[in-house]
């Protein structure tokens, strides 16, 4: 019995062991199958074919004179198909190529590169990234001389992956206006962005192409080059109205004022009266580190929507002249500088003790809040809708439909609104209880000196393809005539008086006439008005025959600083530059009719060539350098080289401000300047090693 039981136990144990062995074998088979399936799946994914987008070359954004404001610069990444080259070429040149790649890119050792290429060739892998670093076209030309790579795509397997990078030759100049675009994701054609890049994206972007790609190891996509690709169509160039020289002067002048007044932000816009072309638009805000940069669209967008203060008296005074028969010699009592429309709500004037009884002409020149608000209250209080009718006629109640996306919508109260109160009309008359953009104020001022015609400011004048104009843009007429001839004449005389005798007399010059209006409003924060000020000046010049209008805003200034002292000097500095460059005509001297060579002393070779060709001067060149010194000798220009090194401070003496800024800011220096004309002095010596972020001061004359 015990023997049988022992045998039975042994049989059971043997059976159990056999069953366990079979189970282990089955698990091993399943494991192998899983690994093989994963390998197959991975291989299938790696060899996935798909048609993918080929980005079109993006169009350029040009200044008015054709200078590049934004362009797409091609960069490349180096990859190779190690299976393409013949055995003879691969064996002969693999060592040399590995050494060159390791030395040039400094990412991996020679042995690592060599082993990877050999293994990839053995495993029939058709795509190896030799370096993840990006390089430009000049580097590409150098790399094309290397072993195997010089055999090209078909015989050597080289793959230069093109990557477009947007480049702004003038660095941060007009950065917020130029803007940017970003794709929402890799597969979507939808983009987000700001500025001209976004507003004109469809024209700049062109038409993307399509090609067959194979997904390989590492999630990379390799072009198949099977001949089925659809070629991309490049985008159009857009030519703006921006004048680079005016833009640079406006930027530096505004920046200086922001620093001096410890302001939060500021903007400046200058435009041609008759054409509506914006020649400069600057937006500067304080960054976290205390510096100023183009970080928001204060001139046009919601960030700059604010109570304008006394510049709005242009609209109030125009409405009064149109509605009534008041004369500038009529007087009004402004009292002691404080007037209560209601028991607890006082209207005040800037002058302590007030102005007393003064003519309406002085009310405007001195910017008396009490005087203007009492007049508007007297003539419009019984019918405030009538005042709003004028604001509607002056186009203050609706957007201008500027060419750039993101224009702010004006906020103007209406008597039917629940927010309208008895104090609204008098406070509105002096630029409170409303919000408008600087662009709106400028457009109205421009209408007052453009024979009453309000035109839509424009910043892009044409779309171009290969030097052929595809589309031209003309400004729309927003209002045929904002006021009568008599009112327009009177308003111009009032604005001239502001500069000759009033709140902006500090910018008066007898060289040419300036007219305008100052503005100062208290900033509303935490449900109350503060001592921080929004200061502005809007004006035009020359008064004899207006050619340019402009507005300057400097916001959140120190306590007690007003538009006449803060914003108006910036306007004058920019206007001086424009007048001297474009409007000043020296008296002819009949004794000196001999044509002389141009007085450019230093600049870019192409500029010298253009001037010489235009005026018929001979030129002699003794250098291959792009930047040169011009040495006039009789009717001949001798061009001598001005060697420019990226690591050293260049010699910018004799250059225009535009050229000097281009060279210095692209080397990371912070430029400040004084004066106008050519550079005669630079604070950092020539040849000194560049320290990025360091300030350099230029003296111009």
pLDDT digits (tens, 9 = 90+) for 621-656: 656 676 777 776 656 667 777 877 778 888 988 888
Q: Is 501 exposed, middle or buried (0-12, 13-18, 19+ CB in 10 A)?
A: middle
Per-residue pLDDT, 652? 87
- Report whether pLDDT(259) > 70: yes
DSSP 628-639: EEEEEETTEEEE
Say if CB 391 and CB 436 are below 8 A apart. no
- How many Cα atoms are found within 13 Å in the side-chain-facing hemisphere of 248? 23
Rounded Cα distance, 9 and 559, in Å: 103
- Report whether pLDDT(15) > 60: yes
Rounded Cα distance, 538 and 518, in Å: 7
Rounded Cα distance, 311 and 438, in Å: 10
- pLDDT bin (cut points 50, 70, 90) of residue 344 is confident
- Report whether pLDDT(686) > 60: yes
**Tokens, residue 328:** 């500038």
- pLDDT bin (cut points 50, 70, 90) of residue 570 is very high
Say if CB 73 and CB 164 are below 8 A apart. yes
Rounded Cα distance, 53 and 208, in Å: 7
Average pLDDT over residues 112-119: 94
**Tokens, residue 431:** 């630029």
Domains 244-583 and 602-700 share a fold: no
Rounded Cα distance, 52 and 187, in Å: 9
**Higher pLDDT, residue 669 or 458:** 458
Average pLDDT over residues 280-296: 93
Closest CA to 455 of 367, 358, 324, 549: 549
State the distance between the two ends of the chain, measured CA to CA, in whole angstroms. Answer: 125
- Work out the number of other CB atoms within 10 angstroms of the CB of residue 487: 19
- Report whether pLDDT(346) > 70: yes
Ranking 291-300, 492-501, 616-625, 654-663 by mean pLDDT, the lowest is 616-625
- pLDDT bin (cut points 50, 70, 90) of residue 528 is low
Per-residue pLDDT, 41? 47
Query: Which of 178-192, 333-347, 389-403 has maximum average pLDDT?
Result: 389-403
Beta strands 61-62 and 237-240 are: parallel
Residue with tokens 């660095």: 171
Average pLDDT over residues 545-552: 98
Mean of per-residue pLDDT scores for the chain: 85
Specify which residues 673 forms β-bridges with: 698
Rounded Cα distance, 275 and 289, in Å: 39
* 234 to 185, 508, 555: CA distances (angstroms): 21, 50, 42
Ranking 139-153, 349-363, 549-563 by mean pLDDT, the lowest is 549-563
Rounded Cα distance, 426 and 583, in Å: 40
- Report whether pLDDT(42) > 50: no
Share of the chain above pLDDT 90, in %: 56
Say if CB 397 and CB 410 are below 8 A apart. yes
**Higher pLDDT, residue 192 or 74:** 192
141-164 burial code (b ≥16 CB/10 A, e <16): eebeebbbbebeeeebbbbbeeee
Residue with tokens 């000194």: 688
Helix (H), strand (E), coil (C) string for 540-605: EECCCCCCEEEEEEEEEECCCCCHHHHHHHHHHHHHHHHHHHHHCCCCCCCCCCCCCCCCCCEEEH
Q: Which fold has domain 602-700?
A: Trypsin Inhibitor V; Chain A (3.30.10)
Per-residue pLDDT, 498? 97
- Report whether pLDDT(412) > 60: yes
Cis peptide before 210 (omega within 30 of 0): no
Sign of the torsion angle spanned by Cα atoms 165, 168, 169, 171: negative
Rounded Cα distance, 293 and 287, in Å: 7
Average pLDDT over residues 438-455: 98
Per-domain residue ranges for the chain? Answer: 53-63+70-237, 244-583, 602-700
Q: Could you say which architecture CATH assigns to the domain 53-63+70-237? A: Alpha-Beta Complex (3.90)
Say if CB 260 and CB 252 are below 8 A apart. no
- Work out the number of other CB atoms within 10 angstroms of the CB of residue 451: 13
Instruction: Output DSSP code: residue 217.
Output: G
Per-residue pLDDT, 44? 45
- Report whether pLDDT(443) > 90: yes
Tell me the CATH number for domain 244-583.
3.40.710.10
Average pLDDT over residues 339-365: 91
Per-residue pLDDT, 501? 96
Say if CB 497 and CB 477 are below 8 A apart. no
Q: At what angle do helices 485-500 and 313-323 cross, to 10 degrees?
A: 140
Torsions phi, psi of 191, nearest 5? Answer: -130, 160
Strand order in the sheet with 618-621: 602-604, 627-633, 636-641, 618-621
Closest CA to 375 of 414, 314, 324, 423: 324
Average pLDDT over residues 513-535: 81
Ranking 95-104, 119-128, 522-531 by mean pLDDT, the lowest is 522-531
Rounded Cα distance, 449 and 453, in Å: 8
Rounded to whole angstroms, the maximal C-alpha distance in the chain is 147
**Tokens, residue 701:** 């004359």
**Higher pLDDT, residue 474 or 11:** 474
Enumerate residues 6+ apart whose C-beta is below 8 A from 594. Answer: none
- Report whether pLDDT(40) > 50: no
- pLDDT bin (cut points 50, 70, 90) of residue 668 is confident
- Report whether pLDDT(595) > 50: no
Closest CA to 312 of 425, 392, 430: 430
Tens-digit pLDDT profile for residues 213-235: 666 555 555 566 655 567 778 89
Length of the chain: 701
Average pLDDT over residues 238-252: 95
Per-residue pLDDT, 45? 45
Say if CB 349 and CB 328 are below 8 A apart. no
Average pLDDT over residues 154-169: 86
Per-residue pLDDT, 508? 97
SS3 of 610, please?
helix
Enumerate residues 6+ apart whose C-beta is below 8 A from 567. Answer: 257, 518, 519, 535, 536, 537, 552, 553, 554
Say if CB 470 and CB 250 are below 8 A apart. no
């Amino acid at each position: 019995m015990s023997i049988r039981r022992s045998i039975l136990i042994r049989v059971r144990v043997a059976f159990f062991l056999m069953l366990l062995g079979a189970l282990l074998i089955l698990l091993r088979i399943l494991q192998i199958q899983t690994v093989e399936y994963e390998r197959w799946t991975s291989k299938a994914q790696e060899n996935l074919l798909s048609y993918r987008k080929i980005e079109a070359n993006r169009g350029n954004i040009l200044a008015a004179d054709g200078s590049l404001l934004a362009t797409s610069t091609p960069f490349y990444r180096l990859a190779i198909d190690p299976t393409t080259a013949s055995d003879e070429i691969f064996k002969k040149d693999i060592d040399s190529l590995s050494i060159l790649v390791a030395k040039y890119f400094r990412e991996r050792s020679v042995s690592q590169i060599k082993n990877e290429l050999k293994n990839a060739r053995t495993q029939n892998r058709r795509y190896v990234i030799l370096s993840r670093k990006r390089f430009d076209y000049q580097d590409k030309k150098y790399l094309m001389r290397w072993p195997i790579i010089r055999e090209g795509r078909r015989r050597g397997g080289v793959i230069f992956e093109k990557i477009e990078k947007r480049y702004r030759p003038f660095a941060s100049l007009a950065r917020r206006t130029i803007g940017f675009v970003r794709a929402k994701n890799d597969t979507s054609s939808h983009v987000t962005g700001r500025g001209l890049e976004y507003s004109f994206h469809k024209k700049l972007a062109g038409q993307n192409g399509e090609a067959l790609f194979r997904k390989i190891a590492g999630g990379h996509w390799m072009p198949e080059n099977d001949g089925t690709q659809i070629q991309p169509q490049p985008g159009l160039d857009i030519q703006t109205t921006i004048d680079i020289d005016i833009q640079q002067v406006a930027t530096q002048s505004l920046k200086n004022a922001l620093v001096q007044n410890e302001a939060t932000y500021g903007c400046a816009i200058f435009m041609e009266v008759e054409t509506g072309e914006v020649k400069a638009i600057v937006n500067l805000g304080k960054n976290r580190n205390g510096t100023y940069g183009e970080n928001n669209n204060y001139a046009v967008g919601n960030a700059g929507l604010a109570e304008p203060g006394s510049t709005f008296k242009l609209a109030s005074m125009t409405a009064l002249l149109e509605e009534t028969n008041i004369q500038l010699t009529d007087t009004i009592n402004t009292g002691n500088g404080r007037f209560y429309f209601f028991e607890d709500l006082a209207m005040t004037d800037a002058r302590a003790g007030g102005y007393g009884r003064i003519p309406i002409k002085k009310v405007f020149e001195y910017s008396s809040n009490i005087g203007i608000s009492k007049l508007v209250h007297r003539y419009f209080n019984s019918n405030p809708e009538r005042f709003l009718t004028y604001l509607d006629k002056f186009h203050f109640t609706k957007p201008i439909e500027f060419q750039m996306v993101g224009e702010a919508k004006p906020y103007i109260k209406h008597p039917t609104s629940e927010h309208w109160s008895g104090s609204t009309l008098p406070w509105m008359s002096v630029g409170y209880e409303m919000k408008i953009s600087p662009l709106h104020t400028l457009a109205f001022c421009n209408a007052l000196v453009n024979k009453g015609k309000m035109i839509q400011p424009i910043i892009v004048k044409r779309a171009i393809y290969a030097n052929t104009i595809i589309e031209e843009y003309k400004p729309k007429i927003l209002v045929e005539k904002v006021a009568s001839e008599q009112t327009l004449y009177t308003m111009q005389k009032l604005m001239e008086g502001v500069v000759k005798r009033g709140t902006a007399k500090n910018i008066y010059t007898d060289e040419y006439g300036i007219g305008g209006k100052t503005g100062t409003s208290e900033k509303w924060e935490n449900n109350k008005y503060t001592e921080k000020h929004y200061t502005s000046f809007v004006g035009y010049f020359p008064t004899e025959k207006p050619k340019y209008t402009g507005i300057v805003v400097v916001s959140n200034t120190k306590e007690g600083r007003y538009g006449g002292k803060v914003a108006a000097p910036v306007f004058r500095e920019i206007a001086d530059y424009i007048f001297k460059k474009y409007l000043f005509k020296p008296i002819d001297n009949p004794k000196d009719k001999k044509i002389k060579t141009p007085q450019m002393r230093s600049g870019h070779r192409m500029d010298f060539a253009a001037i010489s060709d235009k005026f018929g001067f001979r030129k002699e060149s003794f250098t291959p350098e792009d930047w040169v010194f011009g040495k006039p000798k009789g009717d001949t220009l001798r061009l001598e080289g001005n060697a420019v090194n990226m690591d050293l401070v260049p010699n910018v003496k004799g250059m225009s401000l535009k050229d000097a800024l281009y060279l210095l800011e692209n080397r990371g220096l912070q430029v400040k300047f004084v004066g106008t004309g050519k550079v005669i002095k630079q604070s950092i010596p020539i040849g000194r090693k560049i320290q990025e972020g360091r300030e350099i001061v230029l003296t111009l004359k």
